[in-house]
Amino acid sequence: MDKGEIPENANEHCPGPQAETAGKSESCAGCPNQQVCASGAPKGPDPDLVAIAERMATVKHKILVLSCKGGVGKSTFAAQLSFALAGMDHQVGLMDLDICGPSMPKMLGLEGQCSHKSNFGWEPVYVEDHLGVMSISFMYADSAEEPAIWRGPRKNDHIKKFLKDVYWRDIDYLVVDTPPGTSDEHITISSCLAGIDGAIIVTTPQEVAMVDVRKGVNFCKKTGINVLGVVENMSGLVQPLSDFKFIKQLGSSSSVDVTEEMISCLKENAPPEILLDDVFVWSQVFDSSGGGAERMCEEMGVPFLGKVPLDPQLCRAAERGKSCFEGNKCSVSAPALKSIIEKVVASINIKEDLSGGGEKKETP
Model confidence band, residue 294 (pLDDT cutoffs 50, 70, 90): very high
Instruction: Check pLDDT > 60 for residue 363.
Output: no
* CA gap 303, 292 in Å, rounded: 13
* CA gap 22, 14 in Å, rounded: 8
Buried b (16+ CB within 10 A) or exposed e, 127-152: beebbbbbbbbbbeeebeeeeeeeee
Model confidence band, residue 4 (pLDDT cutoffs 50, 70, 90): low
Buried b (16+ CB within 10 A) or exposed e, 89-116: ebbbbbbbbbbeebbbbbbbebeebebe
* CA gap 43, 5 in Å, rounded: 10
pLDDT in tens, 219-246: 999 999 999 999 999 999 999 998 889 9
Q: Half-sphere exposure of 36 toward its Cβ, with a 13 Å CA cutoff?
A: 18
242 or 322: whose pLDDT is higher? Answer: 322
What is residue 163's three-state secondary structure?
helix
Instruction: Check pLDDT > 50 for residue 364.
Output: no
Q: What is the percent of the chain where pLDDT is above 70?
A: 93
Residue 310: its H or E element: strand 304-310
* CA gap 100, 174 in Å, rounded: 21
Model confidence band, residue 115 (pLDDT cutoffs 50, 70, 90): very high
Model confidence band, residue 305 (pLDDT cutoffs 50, 70, 90): very high
pLDDT in tens, 30-56: 787 777 777 766 556 678 899 999 999
- pLDDT given for residue 102 in this prediction: 92
